[in-house]
Structure 1
């Protein structure tokens, strides 16, 4: 597997976490992979063979070749059909809302073709330019021209929503809404009205995903062999609480997560 990340232009760095590429030769890409929520929204271009996303144990759809993957709150399985070659943009939780008029909650837990979000002729040209680009540097230039052009057409994210997401990110998901808003009820009403529309999930749901990501990184980087210590440092009430949230978002226990061949991609993305 060849997974690489690239930093965005300074005018986009507050909204775009990174660009990433993934290449996997066909002979190594047939294993079904479990993907876990990460709190981000991604725009992806499939440049290699098709990728299946399972909707049940045996049924699947083919992912759109130019798509946005919205916020997810449960694990899902994908399976490459051959050679994997993907170019993608990973947005911060509040990032993608700055480029579209569609409420972000409508994108949650599914793939949405770009043609459903932007004018078809624009998407067709964008996809053609991404495919024909000579390398990743050119692809980044193409997508940044597109994003910067869209950014100037859209209003920015609600300030209270952004402050809440930043506080959740800075606290690894442990900050409470009461603490963030300092008990200002007017701000709470504004937050509740706009958060799901602009982020795709509730503040509590996003906080749980962010906190789990913090624990996942400790687990994957082997900072400690003690699950109890990971639970404590991630501010879970106890290990049972940690195990419950872990299984909710990954579908398996923390001990089963490690060295699981179906977690190879998630391990790559979140390590």
Structure 2
């Protein structure tokens, strides 16, 4: 498995977290991989063989070859059908709303073809350029030109939304929303309305995802499995609270996560993000 990340252009770094590529050789009976929430929206181009996304234990769809994956709350399962070669853009929670007029809440828990969001003609031209590019550097140049053209400068992310997200990120999801808003109920109501439209999930859900991702990095960096220490450092009420939140977003316990081959892709991407 070869997973790499790349920094965006300075004009986009406030909105784009990174570009990333993933290559995995084809293998017979490749296992399913469980993808867990990370609070970000992705635009991905499948350059290799098709990838299945399971809608139930036995049913699946083929993911669009040029798609946007909205915010997810529940883990999802994917499975390659052969050689994996993906180029993608990871947007900050409030990043993608600056490029589209579609309410972000309509993208949640879905793979949306790029053509639906940007139009068939523009999207086909973009996909063709990405596929025909000679390397990742050229793909990034193509994507940055597209994003700098597509950015909707009339879209202004609500100040309270951005302030809340910045506070959640800087504290690894530990700050209670009411503390960030200084217990101002009018701000809380405004935040809830605009968060749904511009981020796709609630402030509380995003805070829990950010805190879980920070705890997951600690878990991956300390294989001693000291869950009590991780819970304390992440400011969960106790170890049971940490395990409960972990299971809510991953579908498994921290101990099982470390042993589960289905979590390999999520683990690799979390370590290097």
TM-score scaled to structure 1, two decimals? 0.97
CA distance in 2 between partners of 1:156 and 1:186 (Å): 20
Shift of 1:259: 2.7
**Structure 1 regions of 5+ residues with no counterpart?**
none
Mapping of residues 9-158 of structure 1, within 5 Å? 9-27=9-27, 30-158=30-158
In structure 1, the partner of 2:208 is: 208
Contact 1:99 1:154 in 2 (8 A): no
Contact 1:29 1:83 in 2 (8 A): no
CA distance in 2 between partners of 1:142 and 1:165 (Å): 29
Shift of 1:208: 0.5
In structure 2, the partner of 1:230 is: 230
CA distance in 2 between partners of 1:103 and 1:223 (Å): 40
Contact 1:29 1:80 in 2 (8 A): no
Can you list the C-alpha shifts for 1:206-238, whole angstroms capped at 9, x where unaligned? 001011001100001117531011011111101
Contact 2:98 2:152 in 1 (8 A): no
CA distance in 1 between partners of 2:190 and 2:224 (Å): 40
CA distance in 2 between partners of 1:109 and 1:216 (Å): 21
In angstroms, what is the RMSD of aligned CA positions? Answer: 1.3
SS at match of 2:27: helix
In structure 2, the partner of 1:264 is: 264
In structure 2, the CA distance between the partners of 1:154 and 1:127, relative to structure 1 (3 Å rule), is: farther
**Structure 2 regions of 5+ residues with no counterpart?**
none
Can you list the C-alpha shifts for 1:151-176, whole angstroms capped at 9, x where unaligned? 15541211111111111111111111
Shift of 1:246: 0.6
In structure 2, the CA distance between the partners of 1:194 and 1:152, relative to structure 1 (3 Å rule), is: closer
SS at match of 2:23: strand
Mapping of residues 155-166 of structure 1, within 5 Å? 155-166=155-166
Contact 1:100 1:154 in 2 (8 A): no
Shift of 1:31: 1.4
CA distance in 1 between partners of 2:256 and 2:119 (Å): 44
Contact 1:4 1:21 in 2 (8 A): yes
CA distance in 1 between partners of 2:106 and 2:45 (Å): 20
In structure 2, the CA distance between the partners of 1:20 and 1:35, relative to structure 1 (3 Å rule), is: same
CA distance in 2 between partners of 1:56 and 1:152 (Å): 37
